[in-house]
Chains A and B, each alone.
Chain A
Amino acid sequence: MPELGRAALVVTLGLSLYAVVAGAYAARYRRRRLALSAQNALLGAFGATLVASALLLAALVRNDFSFVYAAAHTSRDLPTGYTISAFWGGQEGSLLLWLLILTGYAATAVLLNRRSARDIVVWVVPVLGGVAVFFAFLLVAVASPFATQAAPLDGRGLNPSLQNPYMMAHPPLLYLGFVGLTVPFAFAVGAMLARRSDERWIVATRRWTLVAWTSLGIGQLLGAHWAYEEVGWGGYYAWDPVENAALMPWLAATAFLHSVMIQEKRGMLKVWNVLLVLLAFSLSLFGTFLTRSGIVSSIHSFTQSSIGPWFLAFICIVVLGSLALLFARLPLLRAQTRLESLVSREATFLYNNLLLVALTLTILWGVAYPILHELVYGEQRLVGQGYYNFFVRVFGLPLLLLMGIGPLVAWRRASLRGLALTFAWPLGVAVATGLLLLPFGAGSSIPGLIAYSFAAFVLASIALEFARGTRARRALSGGSWPRAFSDLVARNRRRYGGYVVHAAVVLLAIGVAGSSAYDTVSERQLARGEALAVGDYRLTYERLEEREAANATEVRAHLRVERDGEELGTVAAGKNAYAAERQVTNEVGIRSDLATGEDLFVIAEQVNADGTVYFRVFVKPLVNLIWLAGLVFLLGAVVALWPDAREQRRLAVRYARAGVAQET
């Protein structure tokens, strides 16, 4: 079996290489049959990778410990669900998953577009093939998931902190996002290679970018939720390099999603869009490099591995190659129109882009600083969380505000007088919110107060947009209000889906501000019967219980919770001791108040032999809005992604026009 797996990967490598060489030759010398065979080679590469993945999965599920990978990441008593997630529990499997998603995406993208955008797709094939060659090469020559050994009696098991439903979804979603950014990148490069300056590469990959961006976003929120519930230090994001590795491409992709609208509507920012997609893709490669090379000190410090230098070299080739190509194609990418006014929809998009890119680059600087400092001075220096917190406020708060301004500003040129009228309502709501919150102690954190006021501003402007649109719709076609509302959204999925996503970001901002700027903490050692007060809560430590579970010993301290004298039931916090993996994990107790979005977060830091427990307790206001934001985000993304016949027709027209333009 392992031989078959290795062979399948070699076949993938061969087919991808063929797609590169034959594809490029066919595109250059316009050989249609050869181009078709290169496309089919990509489809074949997906098939071969699928075979390899199925073999690895089978080995994991069957506990075949003659596979080094299975022995290192599973054990006999590991539940089956987690043997599946062990697929991406290690480096080799992660790379294989990456290749699987990549070839799958490539095959689908080629199949979907090979008729409508043939002139571009012929060049997209060798680009996608090139990326696949890199990953297939790593899997064949550097980090094979099919290494074998004399089977040991039992495997080493999966890291207990990964034995969690979140970890079954979080890594694959991140990979779907990371790898998904390859498709728009390949189309951008393909369009440049084909000397096409029209917007088809953007239109054809809009959904790909959206899917990738949505999975990255949801994947990160799941990761944050996992950290909140499982890692149990009381937070959900620590600006760790590995977390930043996923955040940076997401921010770059967010900028890209906005700026492509300018190119579609106004034919501007062509070079900028290519740069953004290049930035997003190379950041996703850089993210993998960071997590896998162990070059930066991180909480996650992965095993030092041999694939780091390969990644670095590949990133250099990608960045330098694309920049050189972009430079050569500059004359083609002239804008058709220019920015007419600094107060216009285009301009707010431009500000949004600048802020997002500035935020991305400052995070990148924070991540790269230790490496650069070591190169120059021979000693690593770390930037603290203060650095990131500072810049996320400096760039993030204006971004939040822009989210409320942008949608209400007219295209091309907006009059200041009109703006004053438009913004009267949202502005009033924002100021009122700020003033109303002051008596509740929100003034203790100025950035928090600003965030709340801005959030109110954005929500008000989104509500205004929906209300105005619905009213106009109803005036046009009559009918009931709900009917007009659903009509409105259905006719403009992209726009209103976008607003829903904006609302999600606002919820996220409120949740983050509430839980970080206004939280309370208290810690103490308690004997049975003793109590601790935190915020309005009073917790009494009642009893300690020990229980043998399938693969761990669970110790739980039970506490009775009261708030202002009202009984709220009990909360349990403790530790699990995993025998096979010889590891202890913290199991925090969380009591969520769904009415206020507030969490009571209990950590049993230390369980002593005499039954006393050292507790650390947080009260985190509004933290549940962060998770709610995830659901709203998903809803908005689905609305924007939903197939739209009208849009398909517009697309066909655009394609036809581009086709005509190309022929003449």
Chain B
Amino acid sequence: MARPQTAGPRGRRSPARLVIALSVAATLAVFLLYTSIAGGGTPMIQPSELDGRTERVSLAGHVVGSPRGDAHAAGLRFQLRDIRGGKTERVSVLYKGSVPDLFRTGRDIVVDGRLRNGTFVAVPGTLITKCPSKYAPEPSES
């Protein structure tokens, strides 16, 4: 951040410099404190990268097969594979909570959760569909 030119014509030091230096320092301090307590965010990975990782992640994938179950009862079950790249690993997802309108087979989604006994157990309510484009409709599936 550059400093405004507040030195007077006589070249005396202006209190503005002190204020700016202090506030930059304060901002950095708050920032570092926050990131050290809250951590550096959630990793965003694809199904093929899941491979036994059990910490909380955001999983981005392509819905394959047909989803089964009731998201508001025992849970919705579906499978995800990588959006890009030729990898074919699939992971089963168990999800509860609201399901966006755009969710269906063939769509790209992001869901938070962690792997438990081979199933990706999602955090309720974190399912987000990645609309192919907010502005463009999906390519016709002919």
Could you tell me which A residues sit within 8 Å of B by CB distance? 72-73, 89-91, 94, 156-159, 161-162, 233, 242, 268-272, 275, 297-303, 330, 333-339, 341-342, 347, 350-351, 354, 357-358, 361-362, 369-370, 373, 379-384, 386-387, 390-391, 394, 523, 525, 575, 581, 583-586, 603, 605-606, 614, 616
Contacts and interface: CB of A to CB of B under 8 A. Distances in A.
User: What 10 A-B pairs have minimum CB-CB distances, sorted nearest first?
Assistant: A272-B4, A338-B8, A380-B44, A381-B41, A301-B130, A300-B134, A383-B41, A303-B133, A339-B16, A269-B4
A156 B38 CA distance: 45
Contacts of A333: 5
A335 B10 CA distance: 11
Contact of A269 (B6, B23, B49, B71): B6
Contacts of B12: 338
Given A333-B5, A342-B15, A390-B38, A159 B44 contact: no
A275 B71 CA distance: 50
Contact of A302 (B4, B43, B72, B133): B133
Contacts of A275: 2
The size class of the interface chain B forms with chain A is 35 or more
B1 A605 contact: no
B85 interface: no
22 contacts: A91-B136, A156-B140, A159-B133, A162-B134, A233-B98, A268-B5, A272-B2, A272-B5, A297-B130, A298-B130, A301-B131, A335-B5, A336-B9, A339-B6, A350-B20, A381-B44, A386-B38, A525-B72, A575-B101, A583-B137, A605-B98, A606-B72
A354 B101 contact: no
Interface of B: 1-9, 12, 14-16, 19-20, 23, 27, 30-31, 34, 38, 40-45, 49, 58, 60, 70-73, 98-102, 108, 110, 128-137, 140
A156 B73 CA distance: 36
A379 B40 CA distance: 12
Contacts of B2: 271-272, 275
Contacts of A342: 15, 19
Contacts of A297: 44, 58, 60, 110, 130
B135 A339 contact: no
Contact of A335 (B6, B130, B140): B6
B137 to A, nearest CB: 5
A399 to B, nearest CB: 13
Contact of B136 (A303, A381, A383, A584): A303
B32 to A, nearest CB: 12
A382 B42 contact: yes
Contact of B99 (A161, A380, A606): A606
A605 B27 contact: no
A347 B14 CA distance: 11
Contacts of B27: 358, 362
Contacts of B60: 297
B41 A384 contact: yes
B128 A299 contact: yes
Given A159-B137, A382-B41, A299 B19 contact: no
B34 A382 contact: no
A90 B38 contact: no
Given A338-B14, A381-B42, A387-B38, A354 B5 contact: no
A523 B124 CA distance: 13
A355 B141 CA distance: 49
A606 B71 contact: yes
Contact of A387 (B9, B41, B99, B137): B41
A91 B135 contact: yes
Contacts of A351: 19, 23
B142 to A, nearest CB: 10
